[in-house]
Structure 1
Amino acid sequence: MATSSSLNSFPRHRVALASIAMVAGGLPLLVNAQSASSPALPSVVVKGASQAAVTVGGFGDTPLAKLPLQASVVSAEQLTDRGLSSLAGLTLLDAGVGDAYNSAGYVSYLKIRGYDLDNRFNYRRDGLPINAETALPLANKSSIEVLKGTSGIQAGTSAPGGLVNLVVKRPTTELTSVTLGVSERGTLESAMDWSRRFSDGHGNDKAFGLRVNVAGAKLRPELRDADGNRWMMAVAGDWRVTRDTLVEAEVEISRQSQPSQPGFSLLGNQLPDAKSIDPRTNLNNQSWSQPVVFEGRTASLRVQHQLNADWKLQAHAAIQRLVNDDRLAYPFGCTASDGTYYPSTYCPDGTFDQYDFRSDNERRHSDALDLSAQGKLSFAGIRHELTTGVLFSRYKSRLQGQAYNWAGTGNIWGTLPTVADPTLGSTNTNRTERSTEFYLRDAMQFSERWQGWLGLRHTRLDRDSVLVNVQPGGDDAATSYRQSVTTPWLGVSYAIDPQLLAYASWGEGVESAVVPNLPVYVNAGRALPALRSKQWEVGLKSGSRTVDWSINYFDIRKPATRDLALVVNGEDRLESRVDGRQNHRGVEAQADLKWTGGGLMGSAMKLRARRDGSTDATLNGLKPTNVPETVIKLQARQTVWQPGLELQAGVVYEGKRMVLPDNSLSIPSWTRLDLGARYEQSIGRQLLIWRVGVDNVTDRRAWRESPYQYSHVYLYPLANRTWRASVEWIL
């Protein structure tokens, strides 16, 4: 099967590569034809990332290079150059960010520093909490910020790896940009970005701003049986009421409909050879399979008022309304022909038990209001930059009964039909969660070189849950709990010279874990005790016009959870419980080298992740599943031949990952190479930006990641070689 598939796909790949080469080769000729009448573009000096503030850092306008923490900022231009349209694309750009369970057509799941992020609590939008259990659109985002490490300074409860913050595009000077793109088997994408400023009729010709973003795509990916569509519309406006008062409002609506991709698995106790698996095979290919549908509406209002030269007040509110239809022809475990049951893998012969999973009309509502004051003062000879405030947030999920029914036997080649059973016979969990977070952050300037940093957040939680679709007389497993937690954060930095900073920091975070809502769990949907994590970190950072770099050592510890196998009334069940600790320590290094006509961005992480203190002594000292020890990511760019033509290359290397908790199996390391080109063509006052690219140029076959969830092994392959091309017209 693998050989036949490779032979059938080779001519198409060769044609795609040849087409891209012709487009790239023809660009210089096209520009030469225009050069006689079109002036050359003026040179542009790009300010280094070291001078950029990072909202998710929590210390206002302090440049990233001056903060005693690690964060990265990915611009909209970087995403466009790499052809990335989902958060999962961050795994190609930053060594500290990895795959946690990234399935095509589904929610993006990330890990930072080896810890899985919680999609309910680890995501922000312009600094306010949002729910990421959806397909978040990126077309109206100016950048994505990634905070690395324990996030108690910015979040009342969250997983300890870090935070992801989406920064919304706001009105700017006059701009009109239209983009058209094509990729894969015929995926078509289009987008428009339009911005203007208007007069208020009283002499201020820049008082009002408006920005509109519209994007849509007809999806035809290389992955078979996964065609779909998505669209997004967003409007952002602002009003400069006075010189000191700014009002900003924005609204976004989006929809994505696409079948998702189940993972492969072990065949019995054997790891299948990735070269024998066609990565385009979608195990969700039954005639009754339905797409996953994500609908989202988000709106926010922010008012900022400058009291005086030193103090600013801000009120920022947001609402988010999500509706999901989650559906899948779901492979899970296997009952062999001899009666042997494999609960964690597929059968040795490549077959598996397939289930009809449906959870329609999932409604998740999030509301947030942040009231804050930011300013400067001097006390006892120390200059303070203070931020203090309170964040009120509320999250509510309202679900209905779900289907989780045996549909028959499938196989890894997708050739066996199964029978739908959409009966809504399983329970689901409704949740209501409220929190009030009081916070204080203080950047203290002790001297010209020494600076201290303090963060303190006190959080009051109020959470309730109840099972729905419970049979008459059954237990609705209602829970209600209240918690108050305080998460401190401390840092100190020393400016060795104006461009070189040494720092050390320590902080705590709190994770509020809930047992997965699956029938296999005896405590499904119930809250576990709060998990308090601790981190310390030391590092060096430097920023200049030619190079930004940093290197740091971190150590994060948190309580671990484990699924304990049980037999209840003769059935195999699981119980999720806190058991032992998980410790991740490692070295990170990042560098952004900039030179005339090009640059190189690189990051690397060496991670030692271990477990200890478990009641199962055989697990102590072992590595967690799906966490690579070594990661290297590079992005190079260079102008060649003539101004405006830039060649690009991206390299990702990830070391082996453990597949099973007992570390008896691992997936090998892999390397992926991506190539691209970008050409800027000036036509009068207008600009065309042509982009072409080929991802996974060598068509490398490997297992990309190995999530272990619900005591089941999943394997996701690297996507096969794909191509993309687009043109952006800036008027």
Structure 2
Amino acid sequence: MPVRSSFLRTAAGCALTPLALCLSHAVWAQAESGRALSTITINASADASAEGLKAPYAGGQVARGGRVGVLGNQDVMDTPFSQTSYTQELIQNLQATSIGDVLKQDPTVRVARGFGNYQQLYIVRGFPVYSDDMTYNGLYGLLPRQYLAAELVERVEVLRGANAFVNGAAPGNSGLGGSINVMPKRAPNEPVTQVTVGAESGLQGYLAADIARRFGPDQSTGLRLTAVHRDGDTAVDREERELSLVSLGADWRSRNVRVSADIGYQKHVLRHARPSVTPSATAIPRAPDSDSNYGQAWTNSTERDVFGSVRAEVDLSDQVTAWLAAGARQGKERNNLVGVTVGDAAGNATGSRFANKRQDDIATGEAGVRANLSTGSVRHELVASLALFNAKEHNNYAGSLASTSTNLYQPTQTAEPALDYSFGDLENPHVTGRTRTRSLALADTLSFVNDTVRLTLGARHQNIVSYGYDYSTGVQSGDAYDKGRWSPLAGLVFKASKQISLYANYAEGLVRGDTASGNDASGNPLENQGQVFAPAVTKQAEVGAKFDMGRVGATVAVFQARKPVGAVVGSVFVGSAYKQRNQGIETTFFGEPVRGLRLLGGLTYLDTDIRGQAAIGAPKWQGNAGAEWEVPGVKGLSLNGRLNYTGKQYADLANTLQVRSWTTLDVGARYTLPVGQNLMTLRGSVTNLADRNYWASVGGYPGANYLVQGNPRTFVVSATFDF
């Protein structure tokens, strides 16, 4: 296992030094002031809030609540939304390698892939959430764009439904059906020194370290270092993956001030990766053998990201708290890809080479204030927030006119064709896009009748500015897109008892509106060529119930969302020519009904309609059922299993191409035992136990119908040493 230890040591040292010096200086300066420090109760907080993260629910797999955008961390029983927050304990026990591995546990989410590349993409309520539209501690754009290592995060939080008010419009134009937020790690009260080694099918090797300490007066300063390296072949034939990650999280607090910061570096490399498959217009090809690789050996994808953030919170009084957050990321990508388009039932396929180089420069920030006050018997939780986002994209691409050829069932290799055309310099890409958003959010949560009724009213004004540039010359093309809109929120929670909360909400999703371009059906230029449309609004209504029985929790939600779809009507482009309607019912369950038996799962029914037809890649039924059992009489041993089901999906808007439903079974075991004065935890798992051949997803990018094959049977083993 080629572990690049020199890289890890160097990167860790570079990340650690400046933050450690700054935090040590802050602690030293406070001590030098001559004032005695009062006792501080430490509650390590990823978001610099006084209360910290919500506690884990019974069983430890999910938390009792999570971040609700601008409304902050809240208990799940208090919010008018459907939400699940997956804990670091679950992430580690899953041996998850990516955020996608974590979200595969969620019965309301399915993992897909970006258009033309290997970007992870998440489908929530039939709408995509791009991985670069995830939030990091509440801020957009800071995470690596295509793939995020699971070791980076403490929590993975899924908020279902339209969320333009709570999070602001996603800069990448996704997130209409939900949002995904990840929370960084912090040093807990007890020291952590943990080393994990592991391997998986294909001789993929793995080494990780997780080190945390608190120090200074009253242990008010914390540092947590995470370093990960994995390298080698995967379970897919001849596919190679390499990942290196180093991150440092720091926090410091006094009586009324809390500060947290993060810095991270991730490099992710794929070689000879299995591509997506575009079906013919007449039939869906049979899924090949699960470990088959019909990609070309010369394809590759490399992504490097450096990112960081800082968040501070200060109590201005017992009732008023102000906060400030900022972050930045520079991401660099280089791709040499070829897609696969199937031409016949025999699996004969062609493709064309596509190469590009991309760089993203992101800066984002948020400032706000929260206040608690009472008017008579009504308690108010007021919040005001201003958020800014700025992104600059450098990009170029080149391609080949020559075709590659292969066969899905008997793959062949083609020599790498020369690049015949290009748009921009592949070594020095021009700026090809700029996006700026700014928003102001205001909300009041009113509590009545001893907090048994909670009414949240809010609105966010979002302004979206976007510039396009010619790929070859870097010259701005056309006028800037500059539009804005208010996004309201109304949410009601009724606590029928300590065990039952009923809720309802009206919320909206927001994406940049279309610009009329192209020709009509006769080939003539559109009459309204260049017309810029206002931001497109998705309107959602939802009702639901939440149950907390002490050791078992559950949710049920019924929702409907309507999204406008632009199209050419006659010789004019219409920004809202028709509507896409997604409606459905979601249920989730979690907890530990009896000691030693942990449950996690649920079921989703989704009905989509676009002019009388179902949407592409939106199964009517999907669900998960997972259980973990501590074996009686064998201390430290537990067994687990998870059943995954996804119903049939359509691969065209006419609903003539249908992808079959699929079911997979994953199993695993964990055994913890003492080794001298320390503990060792052995973990093993097998995903897709029956080695099922299946198409896991259809499309993801709106209107596209490419197929992504499910992973083969994969064995993963690891040993974690706690020192």
TM over 0.5: yes
SS of residue paired to 2:74: coil
Kindly indicate whether the alpha-carbon contact (under 8 Å) linking 1:47 and 1:545 is maintained by their aligned counterparts in 2.
Answer: no
Q: Deviations over 1:162-214 (max 9, x none)?
A: 11111000122311111111101110111111011122xxxx14132111100
Equivalence map 1:388-427=2 (5 Å): 388-403=384-399, 405-412=401-408, 413-426=410-423
Structure 1 counterpart of 2:251, one-letter code: D
Partner of 1:18: none
- 1:498 aligns to what? 498
Q: Secondary structure of 1:80's match?
A: helix
Describe how 1:651-670 pairs up with structure 2 within 5 A: 651-670=643-662
Q: Report whether the alignment pairs 1:179 with 2:179.
A: no
Tell me if the contact between 2:276 and 2:339 (Cα under 8 Å) persists in the aligned partners: no
From 80, 93, 99, the counterpart of 2:105: 93
Against the structure 1 CA distance between its residues 460 and 372, is the aligned structure 2 distance closer, same or farther, given a 3 Å change threshold? same
Q: Which whole-Å CA distance do the structure 1 matches of 2:61 and 2:319 have between them?
A: 25
Pick from 169, 184, 191 the counterpart of residue 185 of structure 2. 169
Match of 1:353 in 2: 350
Distance 1:58 1:66 in 2: 15
Unaligned runs of 5+ in 2: 1-55, 425-429
1:650 is matched with 642
Which of 420, 438, 462 pairs up with 2:465? 462
Match of 1:66 in 2: 78
Shift in CA distance, 580/155, structure 1 to aligned 2, threshold 3 Å: same
Q: Give the corresponding residue for 1:269.
A: 282
Corresponding residue number in structure 2 for 1:190:
207
Counterpart-to-counterpart distance in 2, 1:696 and 1:582: 34
Which amino acid is 1:582 matched to?
Q
| Distance in 1 between residues matched to 2:513 and 2:328, nearest whole Å | 24
Instruction: Give the counterpart letter for 2:484 in structure 1.
Output: S
CA contact 2:120–2:130 (8 Å) conserved in 1: no
Distance between the aligned counterparts of 2:152 and 2:643, measured in 1? 27
Query: What do residues 239-274 of structure 1 show as CA deviations (whole Å, max 9, x unaligned)?
Result: 22x311122221001101113332234355122223
Q: Is the 8 A contact 2:61 2:87 kept in 1?
A: no
Report if the CA contact (8 A) 2:514-2:566 is conserved. no
One-letter code of the match for 2:553? D
Residue pairs, 1:423-502, within 5 angstroms: 423-426=420-423, 430-448=432-450, 449-469=452-472, 477-502=477-502
Matches of 1:515 and 1:727 in 2, distance apart?
54
Shift of 1:438: 0.7
Paired AA for residue 578 in structure 2 = G
User: Paired residue for 2:678, among 681, 686, 691?
Assistant: 686
Relative to structure 1, is the Cα distance of residues 711 and 444 closer, same or farther in structure 2, using a 3 angstrom cutoff? closer
Asked whether the equivalents of residues 354 and 418 of structure 1 are also in contact (C-alpha less than 8 Å), the reply is no
Counterpart mapping for 1:20-169 below 5 A: 46=58, 52-101=64-113, 106-120=118-132, 122-130=133-141, 133-158=145-170, 159=174, 160-169=176-185
1:455, CA displacement in angstroms? 2.4
1:575-616 CA deviation, whole Å, 9 max, x = no partner? 9975421111111111113120112112111111111xxxxx
Cα distance, 1:576–1:139 mapped onto 2, change above 3 Å: farther
Instruction: Supply the distance in 1 between the matched residues of 2:257 and 2:118 (Cα, whole angstroms).
Output: 41
How many matched pairs? Answer: 644
Note the alpha carbon deviations across 1:519-540, whole angstroms, 9 max, x for none: xx99999986521001111111
Match of 2:360 in 1: 364
Change over 3 Å in CA distance of 1:220–1:112 after alignment to 2 = same
Q: Are 1:212 and 2:225 matched, yes or no?
A: yes
Call closer, same or farther: CA 1:349–1:592 in 2, change over 3 Å.
closer
Between 375-384 and 492-501, report the one with greater CA deviation: 375-384
Q: Does 1:329 align with 2:338?
A: yes
CA distance 1:262–1:603, change in 2 (3 Å) = same
Query: 1:635/1:528 Cα in 2 relative to 1: closer, same or farther (>3 Å)?
Result: farther
How far residue 373 of structure 1 moved from its aligned partner, in angstroms, is: 1.1
> Given the alignment, which residue of 703, 706, 715 partners 2:698?
706
Please identify, of 298-307 and 54-63, the stretch whose mean Cα deviation from structure 2 is larger. 54-63
Residues 546-580 of structure 1 deviation map (CA, whole Å, 9 limit, x = unaligned): 111111101111112569999xxxxxxxx997542
Q: Secondary structure at the match of 1:377?
A: strand
Closer, same or farther: CA 529–325 of 1 in aligned 2, 3 Å: farther
Q: 1:671 to 1:603 in 2, by over 3 A?
A: same
Q: Which residue identity is paired with 1:541?
A: K
AA in 2 matched with 1:422: L
Residue 15 of structure 1: aligned partner = none
AA aligned to 1:606 is Y
Worse-superposed segment, 384-393 or 396-405: 396-405
Deviations 1:138-174 (A, max 9, x none): 2121011111000112233233111111100012231
**Is 2:112–2:708's contact at 8 Å kept on the other side of the alignment?**
no
Greater mean alpha carbon deviation, residues 184-193 or residues 47-56: 47-56
Contact between 1:390 and 1:437, CA under 8 Å: does it hold in 2?
Answer: yes
Cα distance in 2 for partners of 1:600, 1:166 equals 22
- For 1:576 and 1:357, locate their aligned partners in 2 and report how far apart those are by CA, in whole Å: 32
Amino acid in the other structure paired with 1:549: A
1:637 equivalenced with 2:628 (yes/no): yes
- After superposition, the Cα gap between the structure-2 partners of 1:232 and 1:325, relative to the gap in structure 1 and judged at 3 Å, is same
Are residues 268 and 382 of structure 1, via their aligned partners in 2, closer, same or farther at CA, if it must alter by over 3 Å?
Answer: closer
Query: 2:215, 2:221 within 8 Å by CA — same for their partners in 1?
Result: yes
Within a 5 Å distance, the mapping from 1:236-635 to structure 2 comes to: 236-240=249-253, 242-259=254-271, 260-267=273-280, 269-274=282-287, 277-286=288-297, 289-332=298-341, 345-360=342-357, 362-403=358-399, 405-412=401-408, 413-426=410-423, 430-448=432-450, 449-469=452-472, 477-512=477-512, 529-561=534-566, 579-594=577-592, 595-611=594-610, 620-635=611-626
Question: Would the alpha carbon gap of residues 445 and 51 (structure 1) be closer, same or farther in structure 2, given more than 3 Å must change?
Answer: farther
1:671 and 1:134 map into 2 onto residues whose CA distance is 26
Q: CA deviation at 1:50?
A: 8.3
How has the CA–CA distance of structure 1 residues 600 and 592 changed in structure 2, closer, same or farther, with 3 Å as cutoff?
same
Q: Which shows bigger deviation, 308-317 or 56-65?
A: 56-65
CA-CA distance at 1:49 after TM superposition: 7.6
Measure the CA separation in 1 of the matches of 2:120 and 2:251: 31
Q: Aligned-residue CA RMSD in angstroms?
A: 3.1
Find the aligned partners of 2:597 and 2:516 in 1 and give their Cα distance. 47
What's the secondary structure of 1:488's corresponding residue?
strand
Report the TM-score, using the length of structure 2 for normalisation.
0.83
Shift of the 245–708 alpha-carbon distance from structure 1 to 2, 3 Å rule, reads: closer
Q: Percent identity of the aligned residues?
A: 21
Question: Is this contact kept in 2: 1:268–1:348, CA < 8 A?
Answer: no
1:497 partner SS: coil
Determine the C-alpha separation between the residues in 1 that align with 2:590 and 2:516. 40
CA distance change for structure 1 residues 262 and 652 in 2, over 3 Å: closer, same or farther?
A: same
Change (3 A) 1:268 1:584: closer
